[in-house]
Amino acid sequence: MRILHTSDWHLGRTFESISLEEDQRAFVTWLCGVVTERAVDVVVVAGDVWDRANPKAEAVTLMEESLNAVAATGATVIAIAGNHDSAARLAYGASWAKNYGIILVTEDVGYPTPVIVDRNGASVGFVAVPYRDPQRTIAPVPAEDGTSRLRTHTAVLDDALNDGRRQLADADVVATIAVAHAYVSGSATSDSERRYVGGADQVPLSLFHGFDAVLLGHLHRYQEFDEGRVAYCGSPLPYSFSETADKAVRILEVGAEGLTSIERVEIPVGVAFGRGVSTITGTLEELLTDARYAGAEQHFVAARLTNDTLQIDAKAKLEVRFPHIVNVTRAASAAPHGVAPAVPSAALIEEDPLTVIATFLDQVHGQPPSEEERELLAGVIDAVLQGGAK
């Protein structure tokens, strides 16, 4: 049996204000090609099918079309609800979808029933656990000594996994695979993920003991643990400027003796579809002319200008070379010592306006205004004050 691991589609998401619907459709088309070419039997989507709990109509349609397209290849689809999804909305139509090979696992209050897939004379048991909000799920099972356990992400996920193990204990399967949407301690994060303050949503890797493989969703970077037995495949497209690493899906091969191999398959983002992301730093002139930035010309671009002075219409000028530029800001290093200007003191505020402005310019640019600039500023201040007195 061949199992493909993907996650965090975030259908309906934009990059800043730019729609990604076309790129997401292209990814699904590519995915269906891989599933067909590699004769994949099961496609697992480990949560965050949508980008928000109340998805737009376009995102709902895209989800339906995408899952139907994958199922049309002949593969069984197992998708769980993530923290971005609304489990209740994702569950709508689940009973019908199952008839077409699409299994939506959305039980995020009680314990979900394991999914057993029979293909090619072998059976694999999937303990698929949607994202579980500790405050919404049933109370954690008491500790061995009978004391209550706190409602933590670790406790509620542990209970759900244990219940899945229990249900599969006597099942005639060649392998057991856990599917979860969670933040494993020690994982690398990206800027586009929702996280709890202080890491309260983290769970230990030890929770997943005993499974032949663990297919994770939630974090957008590809990363493996325990020699690849546990892994995040990451999101199929970059959703923030921190996601510069290559994107991929995973294909797991299960034989009569259990898990036999795991293969990483790179997604051709920026080659066949979609765009990479680049953060480029330099003066406006350097960004417009330097060959070092040629590789970013078709990427989503965040430009950080190091010019000492404000550049007029910088974004419009940069769009000539970087048509998909998203934002332009002044690099922190452009300010003295890379720090933000200090808040004016009460004593300084009582000074004359020219002194206040001169001090501000000195803090921002690292040098005070020239005599010519002071004369110009003085004339402007006088004109404003005289106009206000009329």
Kindly state whether residue 306 falls inside one of the protein's structural domains.
yes
Q: What is the pLDDT of residue 300?
A: 96
Q: Which of 223, 243, 266 is the last residue of a domain?
A: 266
Kindly state whether residue 64 falls inside one of the protein's structural domains.
yes
Indicate if 202 and 184 belong to the same structural domain.
Answer: yes
CATH at 50: 3.60.21.10
Q: What is the pLDDT of residue 382?
A: 84
Q: What is the pLDDT of residue 353?
A: 83
53-56, long-range: CB within 8 Å, 24+ apart, which pairs?
53/84, 53/85, 53/86, 53/89, 54/86, 54/89, 55/11, 55/12, 55/86, 55/89, 56/12
Kindly state whether residue 228 falls inside one of the protein's structural domains.
yes
Look up the domain containing 210 and give its range. 2-266
Kindly state whether residue 272 falls inside one of the protein's structural domains.
no
Q: What is the pLDDT of residue 355?
A: 85
Q: How far is CA 367 from CA 118, 140, 313, 334, 378, in A?
A: 73, 61, 24, 12, 18
Kindly state whether residue 383 falls inside one of the protein's structural domains.
yes
Distance, in Å, from the CA atom of 312 to the CA atom of 317, rounded to the nearest integer, reads 9
Indicate if 101 and 176 belong to the same structural domain.
Answer: yes
- Output the pTM of the full model: 0.84
Indicate if 103 and 226 belong to the same structural domain.
Answer: yes
Q: What is the pLDDT of residue 351?
A: 62
Specify the amino acid at residue 234: G
Q: What is the pLDDT of residue 194?
A: 73
Indicate if 295 and 262 belong to the same structural domain.
Answer: no
Indicate if 217 and 238 belong to the same structural domain.
Answer: yes
Q: What is the pLDDT of residue 331?
A: 85
* Residues in contact with 253: Cβ distance below 8 Å, sequence separation at least 6, in sequence order: 1, 2, 259, 260, 261, 262, 263
Q: What is the pLDDT of residue 4?
A: 98
Neighbours of 1 (CB within 10 A): 20
Indicate if 367 and 223 belong to the same structural domain.
Answer: no
Kindly state whether residue 271 falls inside one of the protein's structural domains.
no
Q: Which of 245, 266, 287 is the last residue of a domain?
A: 266
Neighbours of 217 (CB within 10 A): 30
Name the residue with tokens 């004593």. Answer: 347
Burial class (CB in 10 A: 0-12, 13-18, 19+), 183: buried
Indicate if 49 and 162 belong to the same structural domain.
Answer: yes
192-195, long-range: CB within 8 Å, 24+ apart, which pairs?
192/220, 192/235, 192/239, 192/240, 192/242, 192/243, 193/218, 193/219, 193/220, 194/83, 194/84
Spell out, as residue ranges, where the chain has pLDDT lower than 50.
337-343, 347-348, 390
Distance, in Å, from the CA atom of 279 to the CA atom of 267, rounded to the nearest integer, reads 21
Indicate if 317 and 259 belong to the same structural domain.
Answer: no
* Sign of torsion over alpha carbons 99, 102, 103, 104: negative
Kindly state whether residue 230 falls inside one of the protein's structural domains.
yes
Q: What is the pLDDT of residue 337?
A: 45
Tally the domains of the chain.
Answer: 3
Indicate if 183 and 203 belong to the same structural domain.
Answer: yes
